[in-house]
A and B are shown apart, each in its own frame.
Chain A
Amino acid sequence: MTREEFISLATAEQESLRRFLLSLCGDPAEADDIAQDALVNAYVASGSFRGAARFSTWLFRIAYNCFIDRLRGRKMQTSPLETPAAQAVPGPDATDGRFHHEDLHRAIGRLPDKERAALLLFYMEDKPVKEVAAILEIPAGSVRAYLTRGRQHVKEYLEKWKTR
């Protein structure tokens, strides 16, 4: 794979990869740094990419592993995402109009890593269960279990906040 080919493939995935990492770790600078590392690692390993998996799956898997490495190596703390946009978007089931985007990300930020990653990939990035399983390197059944548990956890957290 030439550098131009790689860049064109990476550009197509860039936004969704950065969004996923941003939601995963909560810090925009850290997320971009992980994305850069992941893309460089992918470029170095691009000779071994045979197209058995989709490029995006392969890239997301590398990025997720980079995130895990960083988490283990630096004892990075994931934090809920706080952006100006966080206050602006009301949820569809917001009855009092005070339910914010920020609440959702705070709730997601408190989930275990794999659960959080599974939820984000499935719901935010719209990836099928099979692909999520390939990215997280776990069986599809485990992904379904993570999704069920994750949904339940998010629901519990949100209800707790709403009652405050």
Chain B
Amino acid sequence: MENEIKEFFRQTAPTPADPTSFTLELNARLAAVETIKAYHDREIRRTRRIFLIVFAAGLLLGGALAAFLILYPVRMPDAPTVIESPWFWPVAIAGTLLAVGCPMLLTRRISPTRFLR
């Protein structure tokens, strides 16, 4: 009985349209996926590189700021408990620019999905 039903289903199974155009479209879609994948991988590598550079620069600047604060202490007249270095402001400004620039650089990534639109 089961085999009869199977045979009947097999006999009445619909035939899909021409496979050539289907395969061509599939190839085109897979090629597009590969382009997006390659772009995405490139973006991930770029982001990772930027992150490493920013991290290293942050460490260097942080170290430099700490070193100058220790090496060139200056007592501020208005705030007697705070010790400041003449290098404090240049290093602090550079650090702030880096802190603002880092997220900007990281978020500048263009979404790969824009290719799908």
Q: Give, as a whole number of angstroms, the nearest-CB distance from B29 to chain A.
A: 5
**A32 with B16: CB separation less than 8 A:** yes
Closest partner residue, chain A, to B27 (CB atom): A7
Closest partner residue, chain A, to B2 (CB atom): A123
The answer, among B11, B15, B16, B29, for a CB contact under 8 Å with A40, is B29
A110 at the interface (CB under 8 A from B): no
Closest partner residue, chain B, to A151 (CB atom): B5
Q: Which residues of chain A have C-beta atoms less than 8 A from B72's C-beta?
A: none
Q: Which residues of chain B have C-beta atoms less than 8 A from A81's C-beta?
A: 14
**B9 with A14: CB separation less than 8 A:** no
Q: Give, as a whole number of angstroms, the nearest-CB distance from A129 to chain B.
A: 11
A91 at the interface (CB under 8 A from B): yes
**B14 with A104: CB separation less than 8 A:** no
Interface residues of B in 1-52 (CB under 8 A from A): 4-17, 19, 22-23, 25-27, 29-30, 33-34, 37
**A89 with B11: CB separation less than 8 A:** yes
A39 at the interface (CB under 8 A from B): yes
Q: Which residues of chain A have C-beta atoms less than 8 A from B10's C-beta?
A: 123-124, 126
A164 at the interface (CB under 8 A from B): no
**B14 with A23: CB separation less than 8 A:** yes
The answer, among B11, B16, B26, B29, for a CB contact under 8 Å with A19, is B16
The answer, among B5, B15, B17, B33, for a CB contact under 8 Å with A43, is B33
In the complex where A83-B14, A123-B5 touch, is A18 in contact with B22 (Cβ < 8 A)? yes
**B4 with A92: CB separation less than 8 A:** yes
Q: Which residues of chain A have C-beta atoms less than 8 A from B26's C-beta?
A: 7, 10, 36, 39-40
Q: Which residues of chain A have C-beta atoms less than 8 A from B11's C-beta?
A: 89, 92, 101
Q: Give, as a whole number of angstroms, the nearest-CB distance from B36 to chain A.
A: 9
**B12 with A43: CB separation less than 8 A:** no
Closest partner residue, chain B, to A35 (CB atom): B22
**B34 with A3: CB separation less than 8 A:** yes
Query: Given contacts A36-B25, A36-B29, A91-B8, could you give 12 more A-B pairs where the C-beta distance is less than 8 Å?
Result: A6-B30, A10-B26, A28-B17, A32-B22, A36-B22, A44-B33, A85-B15, A105-B14, A120-B9, A123-B5, A124-B9, A126-B6
Contact residues of A with B, CB < 8 Å?
3, 6-7, 10-11, 14-15, 18-19, 22-23, 28, 31-32, 35-36, 39-40, 43-44, 81, 83, 85-86, 89, 91-93, 101, 104-105, 120, 123-124, 126, 151
